[in-house]
Amino acid sequence: MEYFLEGKTIFITGATGFLAKILVEKILRVQPNVKKLFLLVRASDTKSAKKRFNDEVMQTELFIVLREKIGVNNLNSLIEEKVFPIAGDISFEDFGIENSEMKNEMFKEIDIIINSAATTRFDERYDIAMNINVQGAVNVLNFAKRCVNVKIIIHVSTAYVCGEGEGIIQEKSFTLGETLNKNSKLDIDVEKKVIEEKLKELEAQRSTTKEVTMAMRDLGIQRANLHGWPNTYSFTKAMGEMLLGHFKENLQLVIIRPTIITSTYKEPFPGWIEGVKTVDSFILAYGKGVLNFCFGDPNSKIDMIPGDMVVNSILAAIIAHIGKDRYYSSQELIYHISSSKRNPLKSSDIRLFLFHYFTKNPWINKDGKIIKVGMPTLFSNMDSFQKYISTYYWPLLKIVELVNVLSWHRFDKTYKDLKRKIDMSIRLCELYKPYVLFHGSFDDCNSERLRMTMKGYNMDDKLNFDPNCIKWEDYFMKTHLPGAVKHIF
């Protein structure tokens, strides 16, 4: 790796995101002789971008290993010399970079582009998701076409662009306009017009900001469902892939499709996580005593992969493909970074891990109360879950509501807490149903070839992304759950 990335200039979008932070730390730790890192940071100007990078990236615990390895002063010098936070926004042409001198320098020097910018909220406003996940990808591509020395674009997508697939999900590309239900025709320009018209309609109705947000979230889900995708996130990420593949011309494009990204497995240390990820929503709610159930077919596979393994796959793909003369088909340049095929993890396993961990390590809330948990009830489909809510919780909520009214609102807090639990339960199940009731396995033949390539370079340990090495019970009990409690509870 030292040889391959030495003297290279790398441009990374989404630089304050979870994955990009791990990526930046890894590059600086193992290859301090990289020439430059241009990091796109959403900010109004360079000063604000530098401050945000320092506050949200460098000051995180993630950099403690590097800080101890080379010392604070040397790290500061390294950052000053190599790292250049760029104020911009991926949803604008040329990212809205106003400094023409800096922009021209980027056009001349960039060798590698890694697009990790995305909104990962499943029910994001359709206009926002379109701007970031779709138009943002196009803006990265157009910028790359003006970089005279660019050798490769790595686009971080998601394995769940496949929707609610079954069987073996292949590492294959989309064609422009392809849909998952085969009964509709997808025209991305039409989707943009639908957004524009809806916003005009809401403006004419003088809708409040909250009303606009809810309407645009609903619109995203509706349009996604129309074309066969379960949510706005996977739908817009698929459209982004389509446009990149269709308009890339001679640029070498690699698409990394990770599954559910979890805390670090090994580097820079085990268990680092930031923000509430997919499965962590249930972990958080269960550990804090808000929910007492798990949602998922006991035999369905929950495909998870640690964040540092995803980063290793990105770097491996760069090393394998940069400057190579061999022609690769678009199908060969898509990598599922996943675990379900080689080291499957079942819903029922996670249920046991949660129960055992929080029984041994109960959460203590801000009032000093120990939160005791029971074995979570497992619902294998939406019907059984909705029946459970209708039978046990809605009648109870109605009784509490009546008592609250008759007692002049003495039980306001009890009523609101119960309603919050019910609303959260329903929302979590609706949002995460495509992931926890997923009945497919992700083929990773391309990824396996990439692993073998790294083995040929004697770099399979330094850039390990082999799910076979993960012992799931150890990982959950000793790494992921302690990390989640420490960093997101």
3-state secondary structure of 293: strand
Q: What is the DSSP letter of 227?
A: T
Task: Indicate if 233 belongs to the active site.
Answer: yes
Task: Indicate if 432 belongs to the active site.
Answer: no
DSSP element (H, E) containing 305: strand 304-306
Backbone φ and ψ of 295, nearest 5°: -120, 120
Tell me the Ramachandran region of residue 100: left when phi exceeds 0, alpha when psi lies from -120 to 50, beta otherwise. Answer: alpha
* Active-site residue, selected from the candidate residues 50, 237, 301, 341: 237
Number of Cβ within 10 Å of residue 452's Cβ equals: 11
* DSSP character string of 331-378: GGGEEEE-STTTS--BHHHHHHHHHHHHHHS--B-TTS-B----PPEE
Instruction: Dig out the tokens for 427 from the structure.
Output: 């929302």
Half-sphere exposure of 88 (CA within 13 A, CB side): 30
Backbone φ and ψ of 38, nearest 5°: -90, 125
For residues 476 and 474, give the distance between their C-alpha atoms in angstroms, rounded to a whole number.
Answer: 6
Residues ≥6 apart with Cβ < 8 Å to 366: none
**Angle CA 341–305–357, to nearest 5:** 105
Q: What is the DSSP letter of 461?
A: T
Instruction: Dig out the tokens for 210 from the structure.
Output: 């909250």
* Active-site residue, selected from the candidate residues 126, 233, 265, 435: 233
Calculate the alpha carbon distances from 443 to 256, 299, 396, 463 in Å.
Answer: 13, 18, 46, 20
Kindly provide the b/e burial profile for residues 191-218, where b requires at least 16 CB atoms within 10 angstroms of the residue's own CB: bbebbeebbeebeeeeeeeeebeebbbe
For residues 81 and 46, give the distance between their C-alpha atoms in angstroms, rounded to a whole number.
Answer: 16
Listed in order, strand segments (DSSP E) in 140-219 are 152-156, 166-169
Instruction: Dig out the tokens for 366 from the structure.
Output: 């801000």
8 Å CB contact between 150 and 111: yes
C-alpha distance across the termini of the chain, in Å:
36
- The residues carrying an active-site annotation are 233, 237
